[in-house]
Amino acid sequence: MKKNKDAILISFFILGMLLVLSEITGNWISSIW
Amino acid sequence: MAKPKKPLKPNDRARKKRLEDGLAWITLGLLVICGIIGFNRSQTDLTGFQKELWPEAASFEATGYETILAKDDTNVTIGCISTGTQNGFGGPLKVAVALNSKGVIENIKVVEHRESPSWFDRVIGSDLIARLKGKSFRDPLQLEVDIDGITGATYTTEAIVMASKEATLEATRDILGHNVDPYLVQKRIEFGLPEISLLTLLVMAIVGVYKIPKRHQKTMRWILMLLGAALLGFTFNHPLTLVDINKLIMGYWPDVYNQIYWYILIFGIILIFLTTGKNTYCKYICPFGAVQECVGAMGRAKTAVSKKYNRVFHWTRRTIVLLAIMLALVYRNPGMSSYEVYGTLFNLLGTNFEVFFLSFVLAFALFIKRPWCNYLCPIPVIEHYARFIYKKLKIPFERFQRPKLISSEITNSTNA
């Protein structure tokens, strides 16, 4: 049960951070282009 | 079965505290360096845009800082180019306006801005510039009066219109020599429903924390959250974002006359934080927090904390937020590093990527309580850092105060 909870959290965090990084990089590239 | 975690020894705790303190000071140093680099970066050169703004002109003559006369082939002045600057959503937005000799706008170009690219493209892709062309210095040049706004990009639209008005009035009066009605130049503080709602919510949040009996606090919190979502989120579309924090750090404080809302939001939250030591915004007012809690109530979401990975989550988020602020400082662009998803929700507009990101967060909000706030949002990181700085500033202040207390105690005891 606990492992399951950790798995949900880890997947949310990793995917979320990847999306955050893509958003920041996207904004950065379109600003300097 | 997992082994229970051993409690930290006093030595380990002190070492951990020293490491965290060191990292916090390094952060401050990095922010100062990025701020200096950004400050020294080159500014816009207006002469690069003069031919684009006045294609019919044969020659140009610079008459002052950011004012240029446009002349025909017989050297007769046919108009001028002037600039106006106003604060948009992401910071200062500079507009160059080409005016003919009658003070009528011939052409407009945004020569400098710090808006989020997707929002800016939406405004420039609209017919706003076309609507401004042909307007005279005698026109009100005001949103929703003689110029229609653009849904979902109010701050950018307003900044373009106000900057165009500023450039038009100043150039018509100072360069073209027309008489400009002083009433048109006069500025008035715009204090309306958004500002009143925000002030009411902030006051209600303090009342909710201190004056309401504990048994009613839960109800009060839900009332405030729903009001916050309805008003700050869906109606006025201005919750607290990283852009606001960046603007505060960089000194890009908006015009107090037409954006007093920003001052109430930022300084209201800071004042409550300094007097109560609590972050009432995130808990009571944040519109996206409210939306997540509503979604969580539907899916019976639970507070999820992983003891094993919590530190990793914590420090990764801090690093990303630091990088985001550093990027904004280096490029002197508060809007550049904004990554909040709620703009898409409250404006009901966004790119496919933004809609996907928002749906992803809301899907997880069904199972985890406030996943955005606990793991991705930059505001709690800023709050932790503000607490650190506040604590460090408080120590020397208290040391300074202590001798006074001792001397007053001595006086009291002597009198007794």
Any domain includes B18: no
Q: Do A6 and B327 touch (CB under 8 A)?
A: no
- Distance, in angstroms, between A33 CA and closest chain B CA? 11
Domain C-terminal end among B152, B183, B214: B183
Asked if residue B203 and residue B120 are part of one domain, the reply reads no
Q: Is A24 in CB contact (< 8 Å) with chain B?
A: yes
Residues B196 and B58 in one domain: no
The interface predicted TM-score (ipTM) is 0.92
Q: What percent of chain B has pLDDT over 70?
A: 89
Nearest to B313 among A13, A20, A30 (CB): A13
From B151, B166, B183, the end of a domain falls on B183
Do B156 and B256 share a structural domain? no
Q: Does this model's pTM top 0.80?
A: no
Q: Does B176 touch chain A if contact means CB atoms closer than 8 Å?
A: no
pLDDT for position B416: 42
User: Using CB atoms, which residue from B324, B353, B375 is nearest to A24?
Assistant: B324
Domains contained in chain B, number? 2
Taking the CA of residue A5 and the nearest CA in chain B, the distance in Å comes to 7
Residue B313 and residue B346 in one domain: yes
Residue B392 lies in a domain: yes
Q: Looking at the complex, does the CB of residue B368 fall below 8 Å from at least one CB of chain A? A: yes
B339 touches chain A (CB under 8 A): yes
The residue of chain B with its CA nearest to that of A17 is: B376
Predicted confidence (pLDDT) at residue B25 exceeds the cutoff of 70: yes
Same-domain status, B229 and B156: no
Residues in A touching B357 (Cβ below 8 Å): 19, 23
**So what's the pLDDT on residue B306?**
79
Q: Are residues B166 and B197 in the same domain?
A: no
Summarised one tens digit per residue, pLDDT across range B104-116 is 999 999 988 878 7
Burial B110-134 (b: 16+ CB within 10 A, else e): bbbbbbbbbbbebbeebebbeebee
- Are B274 and B298 in the same domain? yes
Residues B202 and B334 in one domain: yes
pLDDT at B315: 92
Express each pLDDT in B355-379 by its tens digit: 999 999 999 999 999 999 999 999 9
pLDDT (average), residues B96-106: 91
Q: Which of A7-21, B27-41, B42-56, B327-341 has the lowest mean pLDDT?
A: B42-56
> Residue B326 domain-assigned?
yes
φ/ψ of A24, rounded to 5, equals: -65, -45
Give the pLDDT band (50/70/90) at residue B216: confident
Residue whose token pair is 């379109």:
A30
Do B145 and B233 share a domain, yes or no? no
The answer to whether A21 contacts B333, with C-beta atoms less than 8 Å apart, is no
pLDDT of residue B398: 67
Residue B279 to residue B205: CA distance in whole angstroms: 10
**Residue B412, domain member (yes or no):** no
* Structural domain containing residue B166: 49-183
Q: How high is the pLDDT of residue B231? A: 93
Q: Which of B6, B21, B8 is nearest to B391 (CA)?
A: B21
* Same-domain pairing of B290 and B199: yes
